[in-house]
Amino acid sequence: METQNEDFKSGFIALVGKPNAGKSTLLNQLMGQPIAGVSFKPQTTRRRQLGILTTNDYQMIFTDTPGLNNAKDKLSQFINNEVRYALEDADILLFIADISKQPDELDRELAALIKEKRSTQKVILVFNKSDLAEPGQASQNKNAFQALFPEDPGIEISARFGKGVPKLIEKVHALLPVGPEYYPPDQVTEDFERDIAAELIRSAAMENLDDELPYSIATQVDEYKERENDVLYIHGTIYVEREAQKGIVVGRKGAMIRKISTDARLAIEEMTNMKVFLDLQVKTQKDWKNDPAFLSRIGLAGAKDA
């Protein structure tokens, strides 16, 4: 049995930021594979998700958190609780700042929450979306974000293209405490593949649907089974809040549901390295965002206490 390096470092690193700051994109970039659903629309992430990066020298356990939001229903309350739990559990906080924009009220609220909850946690300001910002504007926006954490280090990256990510890993490594291997070295996430598949289906739906409808979408994988010829069969359900929304998700002559299915299938195939047969159906679950039993059923455990 191989002896662990006595200087081996490990710890929990929470990715925090407002919706659509690029947390899930960064997690996938850090892991080198899709384990988190990504959409250009905010609130793609609804619960904490682990990404485990292990080398001979360290084990970094990244927690992708939902974006802090203005709580309007039980789902939103649960999402905000997920953020608060992550802040308390982490050794290091990566505050993901979208430097194509000035910090807004949610950024300031999250910064205040971090200062309130922070005890020994170290903070790194991660200036993301450097590829979208004009140089002069980026500098001005960086200064505004840095003012929220004047004593903490910052680094500029593009999570989408991987620019600056290796240097970010170096910074995290320098701050990690000496510690054990919490997970086996080949484990990359705590989630089951069927749960990730459900998130990738929802991400594909969010990306293809317009306006407010994506936020009325929930997904569940009902069957996840490897069949003959190494084909992975997945049956999934997309839930909407109102009967009228079903037609929008299905689309004219089924065009929309086919597009969602194709995008989700390709993402799941990339995750599993298997050929996937994805069978999707659409159902109505009225006012599901305020239904604790349903929220618990689709994996948002703890929603009953929200």
With 50 as the cut, is the pLDDT of residue 43 above it? no
Percent of the chain at pLDDT exceeding 90: 40
Among 32-36, 125-129, 141-145, 182-186, name the one with the lowest average pLDDT: 32-36
**pLDDT given at position 66:** 63
Q: In this predicted model, which residue has the larger pLDDT, 40 or 76?
A: 76
Q: Of 229, 236, 235, whose CA–CA distance to 275 is shortest? A: 229
* Tokens, residue 6: 């006595």
Tokens of 158: 């593009």
Say yes or no to pLDDT of 234 above 90. yes
pLDDT at 304 over 50: no
Residue 169: pLDDT over 70: yes
Report strand pairing: 154-156 vs 92-98. unpaired
Q: What is the pLDDT of residue 96?
A: 94
CB count in 10 Å sphere of residue 189: 22
Q: Is the pLDDT of residue 250 over 90?
A: yes
What pLDDT band is residue 214 in, cutting at 50, 70 and 90?
A: low
pTM of the model: 0.65
CA distance 123 to 171: 11
Distances (CA, A) of 200 to 216, 238, 284: 16, 12, 20
Distance from C-alpha of 11 to C-alpha of 182, rounded to nearest angstrom: 9
Give the residue with greater pLDDT, 47 vs 29: 29
With a cut of 60, say whether residue 38 has pLDDT above it.
no
Q: What is the pLDDT of residue 141?
A: 94
Domains of the chain (ranges; CATH) run: 9-175 (3.40.50.300), 193-300 (3.30.300.20)
Please give the angle made by the CA atoms of 103, 105 and 109, to the nearest 5 degrees: 100
Give 106 or 127, the one with higher predicted confidence: 127
Residue in the block written with tokens 């809040």: 241
DSSP letters of the chain?
Answer: -PPPPTT-EEEEEEEE-STTSSHHHHHHHHHTS--S---SSS----S-EEEEEE-SSEEEEEEE-PPP----SHHHHHHHHHHHHHHHH-SEEEEEEETTS---HHHHHHHHHHHHH-SS-EEEEEEE-TTTS-HHHHHHHHHHHHTTSTTS-EEE-BTTTTBTHHHHHHHHHHHPPB----S-TT---SS-HHHHHHHHHHHHHHHHS-TTGGGG-EEEEEEEEEEGGGEEEEEEEEEESSHHHHHHHH-GGGHHHHHHHHHHHHHHHHHHTSEEEEEEEEEE-TTGGG-HHHHHHTT-TTGGG-
Are 64 and 48 a contacting pair, CB within 8 Å?
A: yes
